[in-house]
Amino acid sequence: MDRLRILLLTFVLQLAGTLPVVAQTKTPASPVLHYTLRIDANDLSGYTVSIRVYHAPHRFRLAMATHHEYDDRYWRFVTDFHAEAPASFTREDSAVWSITTSGEEALVSYRIRLLPLPPPHFSQRPFLSPVGGLVGDLHSFMYLVEDTHTPCRLTLQLPYGWEAATGLDPMPAPAASEPPLDFLVSSALQLLDAPILVGRLHSWHFVVDGTPHEVAYLSMTPTLSFDSIALVANIQKIVRQTVGIFNSFPYRHYSFLLEDASAGALEHGNSVTIGATAADLSSARPDIYGEIAHELFHSWNGMSIRPSGFTELNYGPQQLTTGLWFNEGVTMFYTDLIGRKTGMPVDDSTRLAHLTNLITRYYRDTGNSVLPPGRVSLADYVQPGPLGDYSASTHLQGELLATCMDMLIRDATNGQYCFDDVMRRVYRHHGGQEPFRDTDIENEVTAVCGCKEAHTFFEDYLYQGKPIDFASFLSRLGLRLQHDQPSAIDRQGRPLPDTRVFSWILRDDTSLRIGITNPNSCWAMAGIHTGDIITAINGLPMHTRSDFQTAMNRLHIGDTALLRLKKETGTKIVPVYITGYSTPLITLTEDPAANTKQRRLLQQWKDGLR
Ligand SMILES: [Zn+2]
C-alpha cells in the first residue's frame, strides 16, 4: 500500500468511527463524502443513495455526471431528493442540486428509479432482478461539483446473500469471511467510473504478473451451462497478450463484470461491463472474446491514454474529441491482433483477409476517404447528421491508419520495430498524464520510425484527410492491391437497387428522418439530404424505422419512389428514380517478384511479430 493510500485510509477510518478523529486545524478542512447505496429486496423498482458530507462548505452543489460515450441522462430518474436539516436545497439545473447548510455536516439522500425495460439491458445501465443487478457509477452517484478529487467511502447495503464485484478498493473487512461491502475511494472520478455488479454472483480469480484479476458473472439461472474454466483461461490469455504489448498495467486490480440478459459492453479504468448470455459463452461466440479484448485494451488506450477534449467530470452537454481514431481505431487494430495471437475465434480467417475486408469497407462508405479522421471522431458518439450526406467510421479509419503506420515502421526499421513500440511510448508519456493530441502521436511514430515519412503521413492522412494510398504501404511488404468497382449484385447475380439510406429519430423527437450515406447515390441526386423529415413513401405513412425499412425492401431498379418530406415551408413531394450502384471489390495478393526483405516483413506481419 502506498503512502497516499495509507493517509486516505486513516482519514476514512476516522470518519467510520474506527479511529479517533484528529484535532481540527484552523484552515477549513476539505470535504469528505460517505456514500451509502441501499437495495431493498422487497422493492426492486429502484434503490436509494445517501451522501453524508463531512466538513461541508456553507453552500455546495451535487450533480449527475454526463458520460462522454453514452449520455444516458440519469438525472431524469432521480426522485425523492432530500437534504436533512439544517441543510436545504434547490434544484439549480436538470442535473444539478444546490445545497446550503449551517452545520459542518450535511446528509443528502435520493432514489434512483429504474426503468422496467425487458432484457436484454444495455450492459452499462443499472437494473435489478431477484437474483442481482448492476448499480453504481455515474448512473447512481452524484459528485461534488466544486471538488472532484475529494476522497470518499462507499457502503453497500444489499439484500441478504448478495455480494458485490467492482473495481473499487475494499476497506479492510471486519472478518475475512464476510464479503466486502465497504469501499475506499480516492476521488469522485474513481467512484463514478466504477460499476458494481451485485447479487448471487459466480466469481473466479487469477493473477498475471502479480496483478489480481476477477471475473464475476451474474447468471439469471442458478446453474451455469458453459465451461467456466475455459472462459477464465481465455480471459487470462487475453490479459497476458495485452500487458505484453505495454509491459505494465495501468491498474492495481481489474474486474470483468459479465451479465446474463444484457447486451453490449463498456470500458472503465479497471473494470468492464459486458453482456454475455450463457448461450453466448457456451458457443464461444466470436465477438464475445473480441469485446473482452477490446474493452480491456481501453484500460490502457482510452482510459489511461486519454484524448484532449474531455474534461474529467462534467454535467453539461456530452463532450466531443478529435482523438477517437487513435483510442477506438488503434484499439480495433489490437482487438484483431490479440484475438489471433491468443487463438480466440475471430471474424476473418487470416490477417490478410481481415485487411481486405477493412479496405473494402473503407471504400464502400465514401466518407472514410473524404473526411479527416478528427472530424469523423467528433461525430462518433452523437446522433446522425454532423457528417452530412457521408457515412464514415473513426474505428475503421483508425484501424487502417495503424495498419499502414505499422507497415511503414517495419519497412523503415528493417523489421526491428513495429506499432507496438509506438504504443509503448505513448503509454509511457501520456498514460495517466496529459491528454494526447495528434501531434504527440506523430512525435512518437517519428521517434520509433526514425523516418521523415512519418510527418508526411500525418500531414496527408490526419491533418488534411487525404484518401489513404494503401498500395504504397502494402508494397513495402510485397503485397499488391487491386481495386475494382463492379455493379452491386445479390446472391443470384441480379443488380441491387440503391437503398443505401437509413432512417432515425432524434432524441426527444417523434419525426422520422432520412440519412444519406453517399452524395452520389440516387437519393442525393434527387435533392434529399441527411436530416430531412420524411412522412410518407409512395403514399405509405412513415412513423418508425421499421416502416422505412419495409418501404426500402419493396423498391426495385427502375421504380420511382415518391417521398413526402416535411419542410419548414410545408409539405414537398420528391421523386427518387431508383438506380443500381457499384461497390468496391478489393483483392490483395502477394507479389511473386517480392524480394527477401519484403517476404520476411510480410511473414512477421502475418504472425504479428517483430
Ligand atoms: Zn471501444
Distance of CA 58 to the CA centre of its chain: 38
Compute, in degrees rounded to 10, the torsion defined by CA atoms 33, 36, 37, 40: -160
d(CA 564, CA 522): 16
Residues with CB under 5 A from ligand 1 (ion): 328
Beta strands in 202-295 (DSSP E): 202-208, 211-218, 254-259, 262-263, 265-267, 271-275
Alpha carbon of 399 to ligand 1 centroid (Å): 12
Determine the pLDDT at residue 267: 94
Per-residue H/E/C for 133-154: EEEEHHHCCCEECCCCCCCEEE
Alpha carbon of 299 to ligand 1 centroid (Å): 10
Determine the pLDDT at residue 176: 57
Alpha carbon of 329 to ligand 1 centroid (Å): 8
Alpha carbon of 395 to ligand 1 centroid (Å): 8
Alpha carbon of 328 to ligand 1 centroid (Å): 5
As beta bridge partners, residue 40 has 43
Alpha carbon of 371 to ligand 1 centroid (Å): 20
Alpha carbon of 465 to ligand 1 centroid (Å): 22
pTM of the full predicted structure? 0.93
Determine the pLDDT at residue 319: 85
Determine the pLDDT at residue 105: 92
Alpha carbon of 169 to ligand 1 centroid (Å): 25
Question: How many Å from the N-terminal Cα to the C-terminal Cα in the chain?
Answer: 37
The one-letter amino acid code at 425 reads R
Alpha carbon of 237 to ligand 1 centroid (Å): 20
> Which portions of the chain are predicted below pLDDT 50?
1-7, 13, 16-26
Alpha carbon of 297 to ligand 1 centroid (Å): 9
